[in-house]
A and B are shown apart, each in its own frame.
Chain A
Amino acid sequence: MGGLTIIVPVKAAVPNVTAVRLDPVTHNLVREGVPLMLNPYDRNALEFALRLKDKYGGKVITISMAPPSGKDFLESTIGMGADEAYLITDRAFAGADTLATSYTIAKSVQKLFPDFDLLVFGEETTDSTTAHMPAQVASWLNLPYVYYAVDAEVKLEDRLILVTRYLEDEGVYETYEYKMPIIVSVYKNSNPPRDVSLVRKVEAKINGLVKSIDNNALKLERECIGLRGSPTIVAKIEDAKPIERKKQIFKGDPKEAAKWLLDNLIKEGVVKP
């Protein structure tokens, strides 16, 4: 009975989300030629996975659907402690919404690592913030799933996992018990990630440890991937418009300022006289 095979799908996020380029036709984010970084919350997911590996043995594999420039941030996942890293890259995957992306990830995992125990995702990405991927992949693979995981324990002999998760808006912790394989996403304010070893990262680069896989190898159906496999379209984009505000400003003595403010708030009916 071996340890765990843990797959951590990660995403190349665009570092500065307020200075992005959008494709004028599809309104999609332009990722080609943009310096990419590992989505910060995926590092918490990787930490979650590495802690399980440290405790129960096995291996941690990162996988990412990204342009060829994604190799670099996958090397940093090896630097952090992942055993292997796979870059799923092909022009045919471009323009995918979350349905097509989840299909690509789910089918890649099925083909490359059919015997995995756990798929561990970050809670969401900092550039698109949909948090769709874990549930969508769970749907394609027909597996149980849990969001916002903070901790897990494994009973290797029974292939059981106990996942504790935190629901921030309810202030509630829940623990779920499932037979593996399952899918979890990791609460973004948990599992602070360990440092990246630069030595390991450089070794990963020199030894070409990140393996690239294209659709010639995966043979995913064209209609299910990329733009064609994406039912949603970005119909329009616009700048967010602010609501008109009164913009009355008081400068001067704090005592008078406080009185001026309170009088106005009473007049507005938002503070009781």
Chain B
Amino acid sequence: MSAVQAQQKICSEWNPVNKNDYKGIWVYVEYVNGVIKDGSLQLIGKARELASKIGTDVTAIMIGSNLGDVVKEPIYYGADRVIYVDHPALAKYIPHVYANVIVQLANKYKPEIILFAATKRGRELAPYVANSLRTGITADCTELDVDPKTRDLDQVRPTYGGNILAHIRTPTRRPQLASVRPNVFPTPPRDTSRKGEIIAETVDSLPNINGQGLIEVRSVTKGEELPPVEKADIVVVAGRGVGSADGVKLLTELAKLLGGTIGGSKKVVDAGWLSADRQVGQTGKTIRPTLYIGVGVSGAIQHVFGMKESKIIVAINSDPNAPIFQYADYGVVGDYRDVVKELIELLKSKKI
């Protein structure tokens, strides 16, 4: 390109951007209540891949108070560098304060890409950061690529019900921001022999909280021993075809015998047979277990969106024409009650 490419007049609220000034890929590593989110670690793996394509490196960003050794974790998962801000005022998560810290860091270091895990908090933070940097953002990406020539991030997200994939770019602004659905990329192996640079940063000032901010945190005790759907290797998913809460109970028994967990389609959650955090699908959670067993699941595109990356897919359904069979490795046509009861018997007999 010619260096004097005619600059189009831009919004007076936007800063002028020279794309060449921006280098490196950042991953915001979400660390709340003593836990690093898997979704963030998964992004470090993906960021590595993108970075090697454009000859740059991966920096993890961490924010909090009394972070201690946890700042080394992103290195173990593949980051080249960690930049962290440790400040007593950051002990509590306050959306606009955390977002503001990331904005200040980005203004100082000028990364070309910033990735966020699309957790509930990530979806809350990322748009504020993007907007404050007067740049574009794409939500809930399921694939990322980078163009080695333009260094533009190709941000792929399912849209309009999930049957269309949109490739979104931010060709004239930097940094480029995206949030990425947890569990669409695998978590890289943790290697404690990896070394990297760790930088303690400070920020000039923090914005006013304007009140006390976070004043109470309450965990919902669920009284359930089964792991969440996004964490289990085997997930048995109930669809509307199970017909009742009792049907879900039967499937829960199967899930326990398999050492897995129970999930449900939107219909099952809407019917109140399972809690909303167990919903698999576009408006619920994306899962990629080694084994997915859909029982009475018809296979609506919105559901398939949340499970199609599973290693092995099993469908049990009485309707031989159910779309779910198109996505299945192994399908059983029949009354699920009979089939599941036989499976339970078989598994029990093996355990003895």
Contacts and interface: CB of A to CB of B under 8 A. Distances in A.
Contacts of A176: 94, 211, 213-215
A41 to B, nearest CB: 10
B309 A243 contact: yes
Contacts of B12: 221, 223-224
Contacts of B139: 129-132
B173 A223 contact: no
Task: From A257, A259, A264, name the one whose CB has the most chain B CB atoms within 10 angstroms.
Answer: A257
Say what secondary structure dominates the interface of chain A.
mixed
Interface string A69-109: 00000000000000000000000000001110011000000
Contact of B131 (A22, A140, A233): A140
A11 to B, nearest CB: 14
Contacts of B121: 167
A171 B182 CA distance: 16
Given A250-B333, A270-B234, A271-B258, A239 B312 contact: no
Interface string B309-332: 101111000001000011111111
B217 A231 contact: no
A245 B327 contact: yes
B131 A257 contact: no
A265 B346 contact: no
Interface in B72-107: 94-96, 99
Given A140-B131, A172-B220, A173-B218, A248 B346 contact: no
Interface string B133-164: 01111111000000000000010001111111
Given A221-B11, A258-B342, A261-B332, A234 B166 contact: yes
B101 to A, nearest CB: 14
Contacts of A22: 164
B148 to A, nearest CB: 15
Contacts of A8: none
A103 B161 CA distance: 26
A88 B172 CA distance: 28
A177 interface: yes
Say what secondary structure dominates the interface of chain B.
mixed
A197 interface: no
Interface stretch (B20-28, B122-130, B187-195): B122-130
Interface string A147-162: 1100000000000101
Task: From B120, B168, B338, B347, name the one whose CB has the most chain A CB atoms within 10 angstroms.
Answer: B120
A143 B331 CA distance: 53
Contact of A172 (B126, B217, B320): B217
B253 interface: no
A134 B308 CA distance: 31
Interface residues of B, number: 104
B329 A248 contact: yes
A254 B164 contact: no
State which size class the interface on A falls in: 35 or more
A142 B131 CA distance: 11
Given A135-B95, A174-B214, A99 B329 contact: no
Given A138-B128, A173-B218, A235-B168, A249 B134 contact: no
A258 B343 contact: yes
A258 B346 contact: yes
A17 B161 contact: yes
Given A130-B139, A237-B166, A169 B308 contact: no
B160 A18 contact: yes
Given A224-B14, A230-B136, A239-B164, 17 more contacts: A131-B127, A139-B99, A162-B215, A177-B215, A223-B12, A231-B135, A232-B170, A233-B168, A234-B167, A236-B167, A238-B164, A249-B332, A254-B334, A254-B341, A265-B312, A271-B291, A273-B350
